[in-house]
Structure 1
Amino acid sequence: MVTVDTGVQLEVLDWGGRGRPVLLLAGSGNTAHVFDDFAPRLTGLGRVLAVTRRGFGASSTPAAGYDVERLGEDVYQVLVSLDLPRAVLIGHSIAGQELSWLAVRHADRVGGLVYIDAGYRYALYRPGILENVQDLRTRLEALEAEIAKPPRPPAELSAAIQAVMGDALEEVQRDLEDLRTTPPFPGAPPAPAAADLRSVQAYQAWTRKTMGFAIPEAELRWQRDVRDDGGVGAQRAPSAAARAMGSAGAQRFTSIDVPALAIFASPHGLGPWAEQPGVDRTRVDDFLRFDTRMTERQARWFERRVPSARVVRIPKASHYAFLSHAEDVVREIGAFLRMLP
């Protein structure tokens, strides 16, 4: 337990290993134990640790401090308290915002960043439709003034139009297409049968068969009630911290100036359940096409705005790519770490 603020301690797990510190940050709703099966795969690359953010698991649950500024400062305090110089930070999902905050505020403590399906708008801001429409309006006014100038050769006019407009029109068209074609989620996996709930191991076997991966036991025990007889009970209520994080607002990170690897699950995999007979394949395919278009839009934005970053796609990986496609993720992280000074 590491003290990071007055009356606030965070749970930190340490799997050992030698060399460069590697610190894992979980997504919202998870604790550091979500990495129990994954982290040991990295110990050949450095000393591997993970932190449970405030409000979750065994960490303290204060009433406040769930904005990215404070959450990022919590991670910084862990780095300082444990003397972890130039650590590689690996974040899943919403932890991408903490990675980007640390890259901006404490770049000297960061040796590299790895975003595991975490490089979305909360980690690298891409303008939304309102901003894109406003930008387009401004550019159209400038375009009107440009066209009103004395006649000039077509090639010169074409270059002037491109300089004024950029890709503003295309961005708004993409926004409108996304909003007009958003499909419903194509259903849900079947509920586990009584036999699937008789033990933690049976439940994990069911999730592997249904979702394509299993949550480690210690993490599962934070997510669901486990009865005295070992059976798996109901899902626990979501932590109030998750709601607090959602309402705290996000910062707009527009650049990342430390070495970075961004892993996107693209196209995302819904899991084996979506391939079973009786599932509406049309709805599944429509959703996956839309999801891939949205994911790729952000992945390409990451490539354009952070040209020094390595951006990788893992096809049909779950959002929990480090569980569903652990070997692929470990391989990419290993290659990235070997490139670092």
Structure 2
Amino acid sequence: MRSFAVALSLFCLISSANAQVHDPVDLSKHTVQFITVDKDVKLEVLDWGGTGRPMILLTGLGNNAHVFDSLAPKLISSYHVYGITRRGYGLSSAPVPSDDNYSADRLGDDVLAVIAALKLDRPIVAGHSIAGEELSSIGSRHPEKVAGLIYLDAAFAYAFYDPAQGNLLIDAADLRRRLENLVSSAGPREQEAALKELQQSILPQFEQDLKTQEDHLAPAASKPPEVSPIVKAILMGEQKYTSIEVPVLAICAVPHDLGPLNENDPVARAAAEASDLARTTALANTFQTGVPSAHVVRLAHANHYIFNSNESDVLREINAFATTLP
């Protein structure tokens, strides 16, 4: 079952990444501005207006901010709503991947730069899917900058890392960075410290990840989808977040609506649904246990684009959460 869980997790990310061509464009009333967040990098920022506390909406992998054209207008009676198109997508700058210019912290810094440029006072920041890493980057490093964080089917391992479970993709990215640090260490003491960390924690965890993956290998049913260099850079830029120090709302699909997957094969369909239920339940439980400030809401058979499939539930939970914030 784990092999299916891994495949489905990647499918959610990659299908989101490939969804940009289907994003609605200019289907709601808003203004557009471009904000410089880094050298030669400007982000498209939509402003739907509204009154009340500022709220920023962050997209899933591959989408631009217009993915919220339906949700945002329903929030403006209570919030001043903005949407950010991540670097690499839409009309935002798309620098060629190099070093860590698409790492989770770099993407989190982009959001912080927008907050600073707009002079927003502790906004609520909501993010879908891969945006969970940006939320956690901000919440773990600069909790004073935001009032609260909302994870829209975004409470995956890249948002909260559980050392007891590990994660092959995140641990591989971490191992790469550690090896680079070892090579670039300035002196013997730094190299010795880097080696000790590799030997005592990083390599044993990665070895366990490989063993777990090997134990659950299954024959490939089809050729895996291709991903762009930017998608690869974002996936390899995932980081480990283990402490989020702000109020949190996590709205999770438990389990997902799997759409037409295996609809003509009841046995395979049932297996896929059982696997997704087990995986999403474990993720929600891990997030709730690991993030004491989190209020975790589980919505049965919601789409990964949970703010579309369960819009009224999402709006209700957002408004209830906002009333608890100072």
The alignment's TM-score, normalised by the length of structure 1, stands at 0.67
1:180-201, CA deviations, whole angstroms, 9 ceiling, x for partnerless residues? Answer: 67889999xxxxxxxxxxxxxx
For the Cα contact (< 8 Å) 1:184–1:287, is it kept in 2? no
For the Cα contact (< 8 Å) 1:15–1:48, is it kept in 2? yes
Matched ranges for 1:76-225 at <5 A: 76-127=112-163
In the alignment, which residue of structure 2 is the partner of 1:255?
Answer: 243
For the Cα contact (< 8 Å) 1:186–1:287, is it kept in 2? no
For the Cα contact (< 8 Å) 1:186–1:284, is it kept in 2? no
Matched ranges for 1:12-51 at <5 A: 12-51=45-84
1:157-209, CA deviations, whole angstroms, 9 ceiling, x for partnerless residues? Answer: xxxxxxxxxxxxxxx9xx96x9867889999xxxxxxxxxxxxxxxxxxxxxx
In the alignment, which residue of structure 2 is the partner of 1:197?
Answer: none
Counterparts of 1:280 and 1:180 in 2: how far apart (Å)?
25
The alignment's TM-score, normalised by the length of structure 2, stands at 0.70
1:219-252, CA deviations, whole angstroms, 9 ceiling, x for partnerless residues? Answer: xxxxxxxxxxxxxxxxxx965321211123x221
Shift of 1:275: 8.9
Question: Alignment identity in percent?
Answer: 45
Distance change >3 Å, CA 130–CA 253, structure 1 → 2 = closer
Distance change >3 Å, CA 108–CA 126, structure 1 → 2 = same
For the Cα contact (< 8 Å) 2:262–2:268, is it kept in 1? no
The letter of the residue matching 2:250 is A
The secondary structure found in structure 1 opposite 2:268 is helix
The letter of the residue matching 1:254 is T
Distance change >3 Å, CA 112–CA 130, structure 1 → 2 = closer
- Moved beyond 2 Å, runs of 4+: 127-131, 178-187, 237-240, 273-276
The secondary structure found in structure 2 opposite 1:339 is coil
1:67-88, CA deviations, whole angstroms, 9 ceiling, x for partnerless residues? Answer: 1121111110000000111110
For the Cα contact (< 8 Å) 2:51–2:76, is it kept in 1? yes
1:30-69, CA deviations, whole angstroms, 9 ceiling, x for partnerless residues? Answer: 1111111111111122001110011101000112410112
The letter of the residue matching 1:43 is I
In the alignment, which residue of structure 2 is the partner of 1:60?
Answer: 93
Counterparts of 1:261 and 1:184 in 2: how far apart (Å)?
38
**Match 1:284 to one of 256, 269, 286:** 269
Counterparts of 1:62 and 1:111 in 2: how far apart (Å)?
30
Counterparts of 2:57 and 2:81 in 1: how far apart (Å)?
8
The answer to whether the aligner puts 1:242 opposite 2:231 as a matched pair is yes
The letter of the residue matching 2:107 is L
Shift of 1:293: 0.6
In the alignment, which residue of structure 2 is the partner of 1:304?
Answer: 289
**Match 1:313 to one of 291, 298, 303:** 298
Distance change >3 Å, CA 184–CA 282, structure 1 → 2 = farther
Question: How many residues matched?
Answer: 246
Ranges in structure 2 where 5+ consecutive residues have no aligned partner:
1-33, 168-207
Counterparts of 1:335 and 1:179 in 2: how far apart (Å)?
44
The secondary structure found in structure 1 opposite 2:150 is strand
Counterparts of 2:151 and 2:271 in 1: how far apart (Å)?
27
Counterparts of 2:271 and 2:219 in 1: how far apart (Å)?
9
For the Cα contact (< 8 Å) 1:55–1:240, is it kept in 2? no
Distance change >3 Å, CA 108–CA 129, structure 1 → 2 = closer
The answer to whether the aligner puts 1:75 opposite 2:111 as a matched pair is yes
For the Cα contact (< 8 Å) 1:2–1:11, is it kept in 2? yes
1:98-137, CA deviations, whole angstroms, 9 ceiling, x for partnerless residues? Answer: 0011112221111100001101110110126579xxxxxx
Counterparts of 1:130 and 1:243 in 2: how far apart (Å)?
20
For the Cα contact (< 8 Å) 1:29–1:238, is it kept in 2? no
Ranges in structure 1 where 5+ consecutive residues have no aligned partner:
132-171, 188-236
Distance change >3 Å, CA 317–CA 185, structure 1 → 2 = farther
In the alignment, which residue of structure 2 is the partner of 1:6?
Answer: 39
